[in-house]
Structure 1
Amino acid sequence: MKQLFFAVLLAIGTINVNAQDATHVAQQEVKVGDILQIGHLDAPRFKHIDFPRPNFIIKKGGIANYKRVEGYKVVVTSIKEKKDGKLQVKIKRADGGRFFGSHLVVSADLKDALASGELRRI
C-alpha cells in the first residue's frame, strides 16, 4: 500500500514539474522588445490574436481588412501570465503605425498563436 501511495505521489509531482517547466520555457522564448511577425491566415479572422471586430474598427475610422496585417512585424510590449496559465502578450507594430488605421496595441495568447502560426519568431 505504501509503495502504491509513493508511486502515485511521484507521478503527480512529475506532472506538475513538467507543466511548470513548459510555462517557464515559453516565457523565456519571448521577451519584451522581441520582434515577431504576423503569419498567414487561413480562416476569415485570427483566432489567437485579439484583433477588434470589424464594427469597432470601422467606428474608429479604420478599414477592416484582416488580410492586410499578414506579414507585419510586431514588437512585444508586455507579457502577462493569466490565472489559467496562459501567457498574454501585448503587441504593437514595429514601424509605429496602427493596426487597421485605428488601434495601436492588440493582445494575443502567446503559446496558441505561436503554435498555430498566427505569430512567428523572426
Structure 2
Amino acid sequence: MKKLLLLLSFLTMSFVVNAQTEPKVGDVLIVKQPSNQYYNHVDFPKLNILVKRGKIASYKSEFESEVVIQDVKTKSNGDTYVVLSKKDGSKFFGLKTKVKANYNKAIEAGELKIK
C-alpha cells in the first residue's frame, strides 16, 4: 500500500513539473552559467561588442540574475521565443533593456532556470 501511495505521489509531482513548461508573461526565470563560453539560446551581445562599448568582456555580471518574461511568441516551426527583462528594471550589461531567448532550448541547455 505504501509503495502504491509513493508511486501515485511521484507521478503526480512529475505531471505538475511537466505542466509548468509553458511560459507565461510574468514568469520569473534565473540566468545560469552557460555550459560553454557563450550563450547559444539567449541573445546576449557578443563579448567583442561589450568591449567596443567599454564594458568588461564577461558574462559573469548576469549569472544568477532574475529575469521576467515580457512577451511570448511561438513560431510556425514550434519554437517558443520569449522576450526577457531584468526583474529589478536595470539593463543587461548596462546596454539592453530586453533580450530574446529560445525558451525550450535555453531551459534544456541550462542557460535559464525556472524559479
CA contact (8 A) 1:65 1:100 kept: no
Which secondary structure does the structure 1 equivalent of 2:71 belong to? strand
Kindly state the Cα deviation for residue 116 of structure 1 after the two structures are TM-superposed.
1.3
With the length of structure 2 as denominator, give the TM-score of the two structures: 0.74
CA contact (8 A) 2:72 2:81 kept: yes
Counterpart of 2:113 in structure 1 is: 120
Kindly state the Cα deviation for residue 47 of structure 1 after the two structures are TM-superposed.
1.0
Aligned residues: 98
Change (3 A) 1:90 1:26: farther
Higher helix share: 1
Q: Which of residues 65, 77, 101 in structure 2 aligns to 1:72?
A: 65
Alignment partners' CA distance in 2, 1:49 and 1:27: 20
Unaligned runs of 5+ in 1: 1-24
Counterpart of 1:46 in structure 2 is: 39
Kindly state the Cα deviation for residue 57 of structure 1 after the two structures are TM-superposed.
3.0
CA contact (8 A) 1:38 1:119 kept: yes
Following TM superposition, the consecutive aligned residue runs of length 4 or more in structure 1 with deviations greater than 4 angstroms are 25-28
Kindly state the Cα deviation for residue 28 of structure 1 after the two structures are TM-superposed.
6.2
Change (3 A) 1:27 1:58: farther
Amino acid at match of 2:61: R
Alignment partners' CA distance in 1, 2:36 and 2:21: 29
Provide the aligned C-alpha RMSD in A: 2.1
Which secondary structure does the structure 2 equivalent of 1:114 belong to? helix
Change (3 A) 1:79 1:27: farther
Question: Aligned residues: percent identity?
Answer: 37
Counterpart of 1:83 in structure 2 is: 76
The answer on 1:56 being equivalent to 2:57 is no
Higher Cα Rg: structure 1 or 2?
Answer: 1
Which secondary structure does the structure 2 equivalent of 1:29 belong to? coil
Kindly state the Cα deviation for residue 60 of structure 1 after the two structures are TM-superposed.
4.1
